Structure 1
Amino acid sequence: MPPIPQYDGTTDPVDHLETFRTMMLLHGAFDGFLCRAFPTTLSAVARDWYSRLKPNSIDNFEEFGDDLAQHFMSSQRPRKTAASLMALRQEDDESLKAFVSRFNKEALQVLNLGPSAAMNALLPATKSNEFR
């Protein structure tokens, strides 16, 4: 099993939680084990936060994850939405190929983006009449 990086409170807590959960569930870990093993992945201010939790204040891993994510909310990476794609525009000096590549990178970050929504955002954002 690859090592799970330490979480120090400066990166997205949801990403860390999902990495940990995926690795543990892959090996058949149950909820109680997740709660006991997760603190070993914390360092710096995240470990300080954990050490200040009241004993027996967490009932399950989902609650633990919610508490962690809420406490380190300022470190969360903003989630992309279909609306954020609508704000993208091809720059004057940007090739169509470069813009479509940039658009695709952004679109991959939008959860549950349907093809029609992606096309509705892409087409008006390009400067190429032939492409539209």
Structure 2
Amino acid sequence: MDIALPTTSLGSKVTFTGVEDLEAHLTTFHTQMMLTGGSSAVYCKLLMSTLPGATLEWFVILPDGYITTFDQFATLFREQYLVNKAPTQFSYDVFDIKQYQGESLKEYLNRFGVQVVRLKPTDEVMTVHAFVKGMLPGPFSESLLRFYPKTFNEIKCRALTHIAVDERVTEKCGLIGPIRPQPMRVHEATTGKKGVGKPYKQSQAGTRTRRDPPLKHNFRIELKELIAIPNLAARLKVPAKTDKKRGPNKNAWCEFHQAHGHYIRNCLTVAYQLDELVKSGFLKDYLQEQQNDQALVTAGADQGH
């Protein structure tokens, strides 16, 4: 086929190796050709250029002059790779879309939206119910159950507000406030001199108050898996890595400190932070349904600090 090819760029070139979805390949090819235009012969020549390896060998063994139109070429192409055709999807397949563990609301909403475009469900109530049913328990899921949405667009608008607030809260969790200035003593305020006069008492006993040990909570999953969840990991203050041991047990490994010296179940650093997140309600979906009397984490010989 001595046909001049268009000089307009087709963008990133797609190829079909024989294992991809053939309809998706033809759709992408048609979309690129719509930008350049051309005759049926041009379409045939450019489609041939997307066939590497074994797929090109299939085309080469066709008799000369066997293909006369692009529609004929596309039909032969479909017949040859019919097994690569994606199975037919139905609108009720939206109920198969579930939020993954550790998947953010934004990621789940985008993935669900892509499938809605592909499946084209006509029942708005079914789409809303499928989205709510596929969500993991959490604040946004609870708000949807309390005030049930009527349309998928309403879900997207409410999710946009929730995501924006959640991102601002995440940013605030990483902020450290300034140190409160110490008020001047009366003598310093009147004379402008420091160090003169009776000093303030540091505390009633003159010693530092010891911090209460954190509560030990029973979670649905192991601690090393819990701290790996992206939404939770963003709220934890992970200590800097070091080659030094973090305790007396040289064979023990802490996944939070990434260091030897103690086990994560005895790590006070992560225990304090998880205790605060439990008190704030952030980890309520990861706690055991029935918790017994919570035991305090006590400092032992192999505990990390």
Same fold (TM over 0.5): yes
Residues in 2 aligned to 1:63 and 1:21: alpha-carbon distance in whole angstroms: 15
Q: Is the aligned partner of 1:38 residue 2:38?
A: no
Residues in 2 aligned to 1:27 and 1:89: alpha-carbon distance in whole angstroms: 40
Residue in 2 that maps onto 1:29:
38
Identity %: 19
Q: 1:118 to 1:30 in 2, by over 3 A?
A: farther
Cα-to-partner distance string for 1:106-131 (whole Å, 9 max, x where unaligned): 22322x43362523543555575325
Q: CA deviation at 1:15?
A: 2.0
Residues 13 and 50 in structure 2, CA contact (< 8 A), matched pair in contact too: yes
Residues in 2 aligned to 1:3 and 1:125: alpha-carbon distance in whole angstroms: 35
Q: Is the aligned partner of 1:17 residue 2:33?
A: no
Residue in 1 that maps onto 2:78:
69
Q: 1:37 to 1:124 in 2, by over 3 A?
A: closer
Residues in 2 aligned to 1:31 and 1:5: alpha-carbon distance in whole angstroms: 19
Q: Is the aligned partner of 1:130 residue 2:146?
A: yes
Secondary structure of 1:41's partner?
A: coil
Q: CA deviation at 1:99?
A: 5.1
Residues in 1 aligned to 2:147 and 2:103: alpha-carbon distance in whole angstroms: 12
Q: 1:23 to 1:99 in 2, by over 3 A?
A: closer
Q: 1:96 to 1:35 in 2, by over 3 A?
A: closer
- Structure with more relative contact order (C-alpha pairs < 8 Å, separation 6 or more): 1
Residue in 1 that maps onto 2:121:
113
Residues in 1 aligned to 2:109 and 2:12: alpha-carbon distance in whole angstroms: 35
Secondary structure of 2:71's partner?
A: helix
Residues 91 and 122 in structure 2, CA contact (< 8 A), matched pair in contact too: no
Residues 12 and 75 in structure 1, CA contact (< 8 A), matched pair in contact too: yes
More helix by percentage? 1
TM-score scaled by structure 1?
Answer: 0.70
Cα-to-partner distance string for 1:31-62 (whole Å, 9 max, x where unaligned): 12212332122101111111122333334212
Residues in 1 aligned to 2:111 and 2:71: alpha-carbon distance in whole angstroms: 34
Cα-to-partner distance string for 1:76-99 (whole Å, 9 max, x where unaligned): 3445421211344567x6889365
Residues 21 and 86 in structure 2, CA contact (< 8 A), matched pair in contact too: yes
RMSD: 3.1
Residues in 2 aligned to 1:88 and 1:19: alpha-carbon distance in whole angstroms: 25
Residues 8 and 45 in structure 1, CA contact (< 8 A), matched pair in contact too: yes
**Larger Rg computed on CA atoms:** 2
What residue ranges of structure 2 are gaps of 5+ in the alignment? 1-8, 149-305
Residues in 1 aligned to 2:32 and 2:94: alpha-carbon distance in whole angstroms: 31
Q: 1:95 to 1:21 in 2, by over 3 A?
A: closer
Q: Which moves more between the two structures, 97-106 or 12-21?
A: 97-106
Q: Which moves more between the two structures, 21-30 or 98-107?
A: 98-107
Q: Is the aligned partner of 1:86 residue 2:99?
A: no
